[in-house]
Amino acid sequence: MIHASSHVQPADVAAHYDDLDHFYREVWGEHVHHGLWTERSQTVEQATRALIDEVAKLAHVGPGTPVCDVGCGYGGTARVLVRDYGARVTGLTISQAQQKYARELDPHSTNPVYLVRNWLENGLNSRSFHAVIVIESSEHMPDLRQFFSECARVLAPGGRLVICAWLSRQHPRAWERRFLLEPICREGRLEGMGTEGEYQQLAIDAGLRPVSFHDVSQAVKRTWTICAGRVARGLIQNPSYRQFLLHGTSFNRVFAWTLLRIRLAYGIGAMRYGILVAEKPGTAESG
């Protein structure tokens, strides 16, 4: 497991996303996650949607499926699952700014529901969801064992957990740790990056049965080339970018510069992107 040089608290993660709220939406839009390029000709929007569709397929999401979206961000995935799949979605974010944006899009909607909560203290009912999806938020969790335990607890028997995670290669070199992976964790407010094997074992320890693992690193790494280009254009064209990134006082502005570090880590294979699917033993309940 790759760890940040200092322990990451939930308040640190919340501050990261609150501070970078405008910046994230400028660079990523409402979907703060990778795109999945299955064809070179796909647009960013198509690739982003492809990842959501892959998660929905693996999680067996359909009409009426109760879904928990852990780390829902601005609610982009949750809204797709409601609109196009007919699911009933509860999204959790630790960022007040993200919840505010999501609610303002449709202030009278009761589906999705957006909650500001720490996943490790989520207060949700046990066995209440048929699918738990986690798109790039497990890395922020200060206790991965408890994270998996909570996923297993809220899942109904037969329900599925689908995690899209930033991972490290099995045995990163010392210089990859020092100059790429550990700084990425520190600057991105990640508690750490695990490996495929560690995630599978944590799922087993939580009482879940791993179903599959998909290494899609090559299909998602283009995300960072595009993001770096958007930041570069913003620096040239937008004075507020230059003010924030070059002269701002918030520590979290450093994440803009680690985009290049992430792209390099993908390029040499030090950083991986995996989709883990696990199932809670038992018979699936009807929705």
Share of the chain above pLDDT 90, in %: 61
Contact 114, 72 (CB under 8 A): yes
Q: How confident is the model at residue 283 (pLDDT cuts 50, 70, 90)?
A: confident
pTM recorded for the entire structure: 0.90
Judged against a pLDDT cut of 70, whether residue 252 lies above it is answered with no
pLDDT digit string (tens) for 25-56?
Answer: 666 667 778 899 988 889 988 999 999 999 99
Share of the chain above pLDDT 70, in %: 86
Cβ neighbours of residue 86 under 8 Å, at least 6 residues apart?
62, 63, 64, 65
Contact 220, 34 (CB under 8 A): yes
pLDDT digit string (tens) for 77-87?
Answer: 999 999 999 99
Judged against a pLDDT cut of 50, whether residue 237 lies above it is answered with yes
Give 60-63 contacts, CB < 8 A, sequence gap 24+: 60/130, 60/131, 60/160, 61/85, 61/87, 61/131, 62/86, 62/87, 63/87, 63/287
- What's the confidence (pLDDT) of residue 189? 84
- What's the confidence (pLDDT) of residue 145? 96
Helix 144-154 to helix 196-205 angle (10° resolution) is 50
- What's the confidence (pLDDT) of residue 287? 43
CA 161 – CA 138 distance, rounded (Å):
12
Judged against a pLDDT cut of 60, whether residue 159 lies above it is answered with yes
CA 59 – CA 132 distance, rounded (Å):
8
Give 230 or 114, the one with higher predicted confidence.
Answer: 114
Q: How confident is the model at residue 7 (pLDDT cuts 50, 70, 90)?
A: confident
- What's the confidence (pLDDT) of residue 284? 67
Please give the average per-residue pLDDT across 9-28, as a whole number: 72
Cβ neighbours of residue 201 under 8 Å, at least 6 residues apart?
none
CA 176 – CA 178 distance, rounded (Å):
6
CATH numbers and ranges of domains, the chain: 2-279 (3.40.50.150)
Q: Distances from the Cα of 97 to the Cαs of 14, 70, 258, in angstroms?
A: 9, 16, 22
Judged against a pLDDT cut of 90, whether residue 6 lies above it is answered with no
Contact 272, 169 (CB under 8 A): yes
Please give the average per-residue pLDDT across 85-107, as a whole number: 93
Q: What is the mean pLDDT of the chain?
A: 88
Judged against a pLDDT cut of 70, whether residue 279 lies above it is answered with yes
The residues with which 92 forms a beta bridge, in sequence order, are 70, 115
Give 280 or 20, the one with higher predicted confidence.
Answer: 280
